[in-house]
Structure 1
Amino acid sequence: MHRRTLTRLSLSGLAGAALAPAARAQPDYPAKPVTIVVPFPPGGGTDVLIRLMTERLGEALGQPVVVDNRPGATGSIGNDRVAKAAPDGYTLLAQASIIGVFPHMLPGLLYNPLRDFAAIGMIGETPTVFVVHPDFPATVLKDLAAPSRRKPLTFGTAGIGSPQHLGTERMVRELGIAAEHVPYRGTAPAVTDLLGRQIDFAAFSLSSVLPLIREGKLRALAIHRARRSALAPEIPAASEQGVDDAGSSVRFLLLAPARTPAATIARLNATLNAVLRVPEVAKGFADRGYEVIASTPEAAGADVAEQERLWAPVVRQLGIALTE
């Protein structure tokens, strides 16, 4: 699917939902507090990024912006709440663009990410990094191939169907590495087992392991995307090592219910991008291992559609079916 097609898809779905004629603009928006639903527990990446911005978002909008954590069912409880909320700009969703793949992993999903949301804009990104224990005999990704021919390697991620899982499955096939996935319930136990040499390598978000890389407790083989990260420019990009440059970064964005008025989406997008340009916000992101991404609603919608295009075939090939 070419970028032109992606843009059309986002306009007809995620971004275009805001253009529905049945929903008229609200000239006095916002006239009451705005709620951002985070479909994960407090303290996670999505929650941290949103809370770094809420005070300034509220100041810019002239109304309080509050966070409502609604964890559970792989994020579906919070996602479904926003999908069914009134399209008036007062109930928003903080998510990652990997939400575009959810219908392929979660049978019986009650919402459609490409149809039931209107994209407001991107927020930030943390790239995937492939890491090994310092004693493991590998300094680049291709070094994993030789030992895997003697015995399949094991790799850990924070969970089945995560961007890191899907990206690693694609990478090992590209480079001819025999490897078996060991899924964990979160990053912490996977890091513990990698440090203890219980698994051979792992794929994590850079934000979660950058301190361990800097301390020399883990060795980074590559960032899984087309370019290096400004947060760790010493780590080569996987594209420099012959790996497809699509990458498996986690990119966060803000969504509204479909049919939210275009004027409301535009106001929220302009406010979000202005807050992302505040130096203290950018520093807060960087200090936690995240890069700021500002975008148009169309670009954010296209990214969700692109994630579906990239990873739905991998999900089908692996037969991933998660239970909510």
Structure 2
Amino acid sequence: MRMPLLKSFLAAVALAVLLPSGASAADAAWPTKPVRLVVAFPAGAPGDIISRLIQPALQKALGQPVIVDNKPGAGGNIGMQEVVRASDGHTVLVGPDTMLTINPHLYRKLSFKPMEDLRPVTQLASFSQELVCNPAAGVKTLPELLAAAKKTPMSYASGGPGVPGHMAMELLLADTGAQMQHVPYRGPSPAMQDVLGGSVPCGFLASPVVGPMIKEGKLVPIMVSGTRRLASQPAVPTAAEAGVKGYDASFAEMMAMPRATPDAVVDRLQSEVAKAMAAPEVRERLATLDLEPLANTPDEAARRLRTENQRWAQVAGRIHLQLD
């Protein structure tokens, strides 16, 4: 009887040595079933594009199917709520960091606390928003647009309430004293379609979405929201270069999981995502869409999120923006 017991004890000791601190055997075996990436925005949004680009590599590395499941609506709140409530350990949120950094300051009736109920896995890639107009609007520069908006009522489209384009535009309007009516859509792609069709004269949308239409001459680029020009559109100025000094609205697509997710699971997923993002073909595709790969660690992502959360809290308070 002693020999089997000794073997069992030695096996347990060996397993404990091999497992990361705080990890269980179940954590080390993760994933044990399909992994679902809940993309909180529609197909064609930056997070959706990235998810589908790295999906094959993740499936191969994890040894389980990786399912991309779009759950758009309410600035990402619908998808975020689904992930917060998930208890299977295999549900992952994908979307812009504004879900955690901006939504808590905008939505008064959230049934959860994004910064407390979710833990970041990684920030996938940084991106800018781009202010564009239909050629029929008759404006080609930011001063022309602001002057036109001050003379006659104008509207702009975004991918939804509280999303990057909405906040970027509201910050711009607050900084310049101009006014434009917000027309929210369920994602940047449908918003772009109405700007193309002339239903809304302008839009503040993700540069990967509008870039191809700009190159075809179907949309007029006015400015980018970040502090650097886009590599694919070097002629398009930043807001600061267009005359709005100190303006900066940069964003990142990210992954997150429920707060109770073990460290070992989060670290495993981040590691495999980073490897998938490092593939030359993925980086080349992201570069064409003006998405700058990050794939940072959970701790690095958490620090950046805390900083952005504080910054956007000040912005939301300054422009008195709040949504139901």
The CA deviation string for residues 288-321 of structure 1, in whole angstroms up to 9 with x for no partner, is: 5533222121232233333432333444555555
Partner of 1:98: 98
User: Which shifted more, 216-225 or 58-67?
Assistant: 58-67
Counterpart CA distance in 1 for 2:275 and 2:88 is: 23
Is the contact made by 1:128 and 1:224 (CA closer than 8 Å) also made in structure 2?
Answer: yes
Partner of 1:177: 178
Counterpart CA distance in 2 for 1:180 and 1:72 is: 20
Counterpart CA distance in 2 for 1:147 and 1:80 is: 40
SS in 2 for 1:26: helix
Is the contact made by 1:225 and 1:239 (CA closer than 8 Å) also made in structure 2?
Answer: no
Is the contact made by 2:94 and 2:256 (CA closer than 8 Å) also made in structure 1?
Answer: yes
The CA deviation string for residues 131-161 of structure 1, in whole angstroms up to 9 with x for no partner, is: 2233555443233333344334433323332
Structure 1's 181 and 92: CA in aligned 2 closer, same or farther, altered over 3 A? Answer: closer
Q: For 1:17-96, what aligned pairs fall within 5 Å after superposition? A: 26-42=27-43, 44-71=45-72, 74-86=75-87, 88=89, 90-96=90-96
Counterpart CA distance in 2 for 1:305 and 1:152 is: 37
User: Which shifted more, 259-268 or 220-229?
Assistant: 259-268
Counterpart CA distance in 2 for 1:189 and 1:58 is: 30
User: Which shifted more, 101-110 or 205-214?
Assistant: 101-110
Partner of 2:7: none
Partner of 1:123: 124
Is the contact made by 1:207 and 1:288 (CA closer than 8 Å) also made in structure 2?
Answer: yes
Is the contact made by 2:134 and 2:198 (CA closer than 8 Å) also made in structure 1?
Answer: yes
Mind listing any 5+ residue stretches in structure 2 that lack a counterpart?
A: 1-19
Bigger Rg over Cα: 2
Partner of 2:300: 299
1:110 equivalent in alignment to 2:111: yes
Q: For 1:104-253, what aligned pairs fall within 5 Å after superposition? A: 104-134=105-135, 136=137, 138-187=139-188, 190-195=191-196, 199-243=200-244, 247-253=248-254
**TM-score, length-normalised on structure 1?**
0.79
Partner of 1:7: none
Counterpart CA distance in 2 for 1:273 and 1:48 is: 16
Counterpart CA distance in 1 for 2:60 and 2:169 is: 41
Counterpart CA distance in 2 for 1:47 and 1:189 is: 14
Partner of 1:15: none
SS in 1 for 2:27: coil
The CA deviation string for residues 21-50 of structure 1, in whole angstroms up to 9 with x for no partner, is: 798983333344333222345554433321
> How many residue pairs align between the two structures?
304
The CA deviation string for residues 254-277 of structure 1, in whole angstroms up to 9 with x for no partner, is: 112213222332222221111101
Structure 1's 118 and 143: CA in aligned 2 closer, same or farther, altered over 3 A? Answer: same
Is the contact made by 2:211 and 2:289 (CA closer than 8 Å) also made in structure 1?
Answer: no
Partner of 1:257: 258
Counterpart CA distance in 2 for 1:121 and 1:234 is: 31
Question: What is the aligned-residue identity percentage?
Answer: 32
**AA paired with 2:119?**
A
User: Which shifted more, 218-227 or 107-116?
Assistant: 107-116
User: Which shifted more, 182-191 or 250-259?
Assistant: 182-191
**AA paired with 1:223?**
V
Aligned-residue CA RMSD (Å): 3.2
Higher RCO (C-alpha under 8 Å, 6+ residues apart): 1
Counterpart CA distance in 2 for 1:25 and 1:188 is: 40
Deviation of 1:98 (Å): 0.5
**AA paired with 1:141?**
L
**TM-score, length-normalised on structure 2?**
0.79
Counterpart CA distance in 2 for 1:102 and 1:166 is: 10
